[in-house]
Amino acid sequence: MRQCLLLPLMIATLVQLAGCGAYRNYDLELQQTTDQLKSGNVDASLALIEAHNPDAEKDLLYYLEKGAVLSAGGELPQSQVAWRSAEQMIIQRQDTIETTGDKLLAAMGDHWGGIINDKIRRYDGYDYEKVMLTTQMALNQLSANDFDGARADIKKTHERETLIARQRELEYERVEAAAKAQGARVHYKDLQGYPVVMLDSPAVIALKNGYQSAFSHYLAGFTYEALGEKDLAAPGYRQAIELRPDMAFFQQALRDLDSPGLKADESDVLIIVQSGLAPARSSVRVPYPVKLADGQVIVANISFPVMVPDTSTQPISQVSIDGRQKKLIAVNNITDMSLRTLRDDMPGIIQRTTYRAFLAADVQGTDNRRDPSKASYVTHWDGFEQADTRTWRTLPNLTQVARLRLKKGDHLISLPNATAPLKIRIDQNRQMIGLRVLGDRIFANGSAFQPGASAVNRVSGLK
């Protein structure tokens, strides 16, 4: 009896602690936010983020989304402030929890939140989001020609990868042990009606894991090379090659470390074009048969997450520099990383979700035994039973690059079908030019572009 009373109390407590997160329609909120961003209305996008997060204590996603919108709008220092807050939150959650009260709360949130609904669990960010956070912060620094600042963020990226690798190993061991204890070894391919094709696509399977980005390591190589640290640049390029051995672009960068230096009037320019949005998470219902001890087979309707790729932005294949076309090379795809992460996370998701299925089936089985005349062998659909659809949506999906040598001075850069080229100033020995494409808009920010222009004026429409 005491346990029966304790469970509702914990449920009520968790719902309050989570800010009613189980009822929050995060996808709808971000649809509104990104619609404004696609139209070039950065201020309206920021206003929606604030309106959807009224509480004084902000969550991790608030800082992730706000930093990305500010970055697109050219407010790079403010973007860094928001992302530093996100970074600090991630660090604090990764550190050892010291107080007994925090340990109890963390245990409750993980165990009971997983039993009730994954949306109640505290959002700590997916591994690829944590790695891409410091990568995007480094890009902000490079846009302002702050290579030392970018170096510091790149170092954090590598440290985070190492920590995630250790945590992943421990998590896999825990899930495996729990599955053995429960006698449940359900694979996502066994889930009737679950779309397994995307999780098993060649691009997803080819990834070593869901959090290491070859682009991040290539960016490290470029940054170290710009700082004259070739002994550190080489390992960055080699790691990129190890993660993407099929990418000739990375191999060329390593070979070029031994090439003759730049002429006095030359610059080694890295053009980075980031387009689209990270995929949304959606919830799909799957019937799951549960066999009870008394022989009853109850079908429980449970929910699992699926990824929904963003289609708002047309692919771009090349960039024009002073009228000359340069092919863009795709070096990072968040959709693939998120799918690989989901694929790797499915054992733990299945463990938590099927446990909820057993609980629901047991309740239905008890009702059947009490009143056989009204017996049902399908659990009643509970609107509370939905997969967690929270994810960092304003993170750019596709990253493409081109690298070339340019004379120092003014140049014109343009993407296909742009209404007008953008003027850039090349004045560094090595320089990064960043463009963000979203819908029919091009966001171009950084010290290379015309100073003093507003974020809106830096937006050029695509036909």
Q: What is the pLDDT of residues 323-365, one digit of tens each?
A: 999 999 999 999 999 999 999 998 888 888 888 889 889 999 9
pLDDT reading at 256 higher than 90:
yes
Residues 209, 4: Cα–Cα separation, whole Å: 41
Give the pLDDT confidence score for residue 324 in this predicted structure.
95
pLDDT reading at 399 higher than 90:
yes
Q: What are the pLDDT digits (tens) for 300-328?
A: 988 899 999 999 998 899 999 999 999 99
For the chain, which domains are there? 2-461 (1.25.40.10)
Quickly tell me which residue has 């299925």 as its tokens.
357
Residues 112, 282: Cα–Cα separation, whole Å: 22
Give the pLDDT confidence score for residue 107 in this predicted structure.
38
Query: What is the share, in percent, of the chain residues with pLDDT greater than 90?
Result: 63
With CA atoms as reference, report the closest residue to 126 among 70, 171, 180, 184: 171
Report for 103-107, 186-190, 384-388, 446-450: range of highest mean pLDDT: 446-450
Quickly tell me which residue has 């790691």 as its tokens.
239
Residues 400, 329: Cα–Cα separation, whole Å: 5
Please state, rounded to an integer, the average pLDDT across all residues of the chain: 85
Q: What are the pLDDT digits (tens) for 83-125?
A: 999 999 999 887 643 333 343 334 334 444 444 556 677 899 9
Q: What is the mean pLDDT of residues 10-19?
A: 41
Give the pLDDT confidence score for residue 352 in this predicted structure.
83
What 365-369 contacts at long range (C-beta under 8 Å, 24+ apart), as own/partner pairs, is 365/292, 365/294, 365/296, 365/298, 368/296, 369/294
Q: Which stretch of DSSP H or E encloses residue 132? A: helix 127-143
Give the pLDDT confidence score for residue 121 in this predicted structure.
75
Question: Greater confidence, 48 or 109?
Answer: 48
Task: Sort 294 into a burial class: Cβ within 10 Å, 0-12 / 13-18 / 19+.
Answer: exposed
pLDDT reading at 12 higher than 60:
no
Give the pLDDT confidence score for residue 111 in this predicted structure.
44
Q: Which two tokens stand for residue 94?
A: 């990764």
With CA atoms as reference, report the closest residue to 425 among 404, 447, 399, 456: 447
pLDDT reading at 15 higher than 90:
no
Cβ(225)–Cβ(270) under 8 Å?
no
Q: What are the pLDDT digits (tens) for 268-280?
A: 999 999 999 999 9
Give the pLDDT confidence score for residue 68 in this predicted structure.
98
Give the pLDDT confidence score for residue 25 in this predicted structure.
82
Q: Which two tokens stand for residue 82?
A: 């928001």
Q: What is the mean pLDDT of residues 288-306?
A: 92
Q: Range with the lowest mean pLDDT among 18-32, 154-168, 418-432?
A: 18-32
Residues 62, 176: Cα–Cα separation, whole Å: 33
